[in-house]
Amino acid sequence: MKKSEKTRNYIIEQTADIFNKKGYAGTSLSDITEATGLTKGAFYGNFADKEEVAVAVFEHNAFFLHQLLMQYFNKSYRTWKDRLCGLTDLYRDHWLALYRKGGCPLINAAIDADDTFPVLKESTAKAFEVWAKEIARIIDAGKKQQEFHPEISAKEYASLFIILIEGGILLSKTRGQSSHLHIALDRIDKIIAEEIAI
C-alpha cells in the first residue's frame, strides 16, 4: 500500500466515529486535524474537501456493518430460520457498541444527507439496498428449502425488518436506552416464527 493510501485510510479510520456522532455538517476540519494529528495541508493533500472524506467515512462504516451482518448470516446455523434470526442476534450483541459509536451509520448518514448532500444520499440508498438484498436472499433460500412459506414476499419482509430495526435504533439512541430496539427485535423474531417459518 502506498503512503498516500495509508494516510487516506488513517484519516478515514480516525474520523469514522466523529462523523457518525456529529454528522457531516457538525464535523469541522478542526475535528479532523485534531483526531488525526495531521495539518490542514496534509488533509487537503489526500482529500479534495470535507464532502469527499465524509463519503469515504460512510462507505467505511457501511462496509464494517455489512461484514458484521454477513458474519451472523453465515454462522453454522442448522436452519434458515436460525440464520434469519441472526439479524436480531447481531443487534442484541452489538447494540452497546453501535450506541457508543453514535448509532447506525446508515440512518445517521441518510438523515444528515437529506437533499443537501446528493452524493452521500446516493451512497446511503445503495447501502440500504445491499442490506435488504442480503435479508431477502436468506428468506428466498429458506423458501427453496421449504422452511418458509412459499407465497411470502422476501423483498417486503426485508424492508419491514430494516424499518423496524432503524426505528428501534433511532428511539433507543434518542432516549438513551435499548428497550425500544429490543421491542423491534422481539417483533421481528415473532414475525419470523409466526409469519415466515413453516
Q: Which of 87-101, 142-156, 166-180 has the highest mean pLDDT?
A: 142-156
User: Mind listing the domains of the chain with CATH numbers?
Assistant: 55-196 (1.10.357.10)
What tens digit of pLDDT does each residue of 17-70 get? 999 999 988 999 999 999 999 999 999 999 999 999 999 999 999 999 999 999
User: What's the pLDDT score for residue 35?
Assistant: 95
Q: What are phi and psi of 155, to 5 degrees?
A: -65, -45
* Percent of the chain scoring above 70 in pLDDT: 99
Measured between alpha carbons, how far is 113 from 124 in angstroms, rounded to an integer? 9
Measured between alpha carbons, how far is 124 from 118 in angstroms, rounded to an integer? 10
Cα–Cα distances (Å) from 72 to 35, 90, 170, in that order, read: 31, 6, 22
What tens digit of pLDDT does each residue of 113-154 get? 877 899 999 999 999 999 999 999 999 999 999 999 999 999
- The pTM assigned to this predicted structure is 0.91
Amino acid identity, position 116 = T
Per-residue exposure over 157-169, b if at least 16 CB sit within 10 Å of its own CB, e if not: bbebbbebbbebb
Measured between alpha carbons, how far is 79 from 143 in angstroms, rounded to an integer? 12
